[in-house]
């Protein structure tokens, strides 16, 4: 079953999500296909959020946005996407508070809603693994550790706050290769924004991440820090909008794009 899901296409995962047959995490599934973070907002907030993404492209790499308010398709990411049904699990937010989790948002959808799809680290993790680099959170079977930093995002309207980063420790030679590989993937967070001493960016204890799980850091490891897709979620919470919808963390929109298509040509 797991092997079958690994080899499913984006289209197949979405069809099963739409039929409410698939409500799980998508990490490691439909391998090769681009997965996306999803944010859905009323039109009155959407312009500011789009500006926030464009001002902060490393944590918020915008892959697609609704072509007009109320349009539930995202044709850049897949021919038949219905953003009201195709995410395995949704979170509903009122005034910055998580109020509900659901498998679809068909009955909530409004004709002025705008959907944003943001790149996700699953894409570059796949490229690193293909190069033989160990991803510690994957080999230890836990979520990647994420930390609030002292780095200010550029604000737009109600959206702002500090950047959140994910951390992956690895030997120095792998760290250099990871920087080279990720530089080719600007649409999925790109190169790390920091390496080495965590205190430089306001992180005081790697053992206590603000989100996700701690991972082992070995003596010869260099910690690498990537701008993280949790940044827009934190910005969204602190904006305390009357209504907002996101994917449930780990339960991503799986698209028809291939990760290999995101790579800039050498």
| Positions in the binding site for its own copies (CB under 8 A) | 171-173, 175-176, 179-180, 183, 191-197, 200, 220, 222, 264, 266
Is 224 in contact with 189 (CB distance < 8 Å)? no
Q: Least distance from C-beta 111 to its own copies, angstroms?
A: 43
Report whether 38 contacts 250 (CB < 8 A). Answer: no
The token pair that represents 86 in the structure block: 């195709």
**Under 8 Å between Cβ of 137 and 215:** yes
Measured CA to CA, the distance from residue 249 to residue 211 in angstroms comes to: 11
Q: Return the number of the residue (116 or 124) whose C-beta is nearest its own copies.
A: 124
Measured from the CB atom, is 130 or 172 closer to its own copies? 172
- How many Cβ atoms from other residues are within 10 Å of residue 173's Cβ? 11
Nearest distance in Å: CB 191, its own copies: 6
Percent of residues in the chain assigned helix, strand, coil, to nearest 5 = 25, 25, 45
CA separation for the pair 74, 80 (Å, rounded): 8
Instruction: Supply the minimum distance, in Å, between the C-beta of residue 215 and its own copies.
Output: 18
Judge contact between 59 and 153, C-beta under 8 A. yes
Smaller CB distance to its own copies: residue 46 or 222?
222
CB of 224 to its own copies, least distance (A): 9
Helix (H, G, I), strand (E, B) or coil at 264: coil
In the bound state with its own copies, the residue whose beta carbon lies nearer, of 56 and 143, is 56
Select 117 or 191, whichever has its Cβ closest to its own copies. 191
């Amino acid at each position: 079953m797991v092997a079958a899901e690994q080899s499913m296409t984006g289209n197949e995962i979405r069809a099963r999500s739409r039929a409410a047959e698939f409500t799980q995490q998508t990490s490691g599934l439909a391998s090769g296909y681009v997965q996306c973070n999803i944010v859905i907002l009323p039109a009155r907030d959407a312009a500011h959020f789009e500006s926030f993404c464009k001002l902060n492209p490393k944590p918020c790499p915008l892959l697609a946005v609704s072509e007009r308010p109320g349009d539930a398709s995202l044709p850049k990411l897949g021919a038949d996407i219905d953003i009201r049904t195709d995410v395995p699990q949704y979170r509903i937010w009122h005034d910055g508070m998580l109020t509900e989790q659901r498998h679809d948002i068909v009955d909530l959808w409004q004709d002025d809603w705008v959907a944003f799809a943001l790149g996700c680290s699953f894409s570059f993790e796949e490229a690193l693994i293909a190069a033989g680099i160990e991803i510690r959170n994957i080999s230890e079977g836990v979520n990647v550790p994420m930390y609030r930093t002292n780095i200010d995002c550029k604000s737009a309207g109600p959206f702002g706050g500090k950047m959140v980063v994910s951390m992956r420790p690895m030997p120095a030679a792998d760290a250099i290769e990871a920087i080279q590989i990720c530089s080719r993937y600007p649409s999925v967070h790109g190169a790390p924004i920091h390496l080495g001493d965590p205190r430089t960016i306001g992180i005081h204890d790697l053992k206590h991440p603000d989100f996700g799980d701690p991972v082992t850091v070995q003596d010869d490891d260099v910690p690498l820090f990537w701008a993280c897709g949790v940044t827009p979620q934190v910005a969204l919470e602190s904006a305390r909008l009357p209504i907002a919808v996101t994917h449930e963390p780990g339960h991503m929109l799986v698209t028809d794009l291939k990760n290999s298509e995101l790579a800039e040509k050498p």
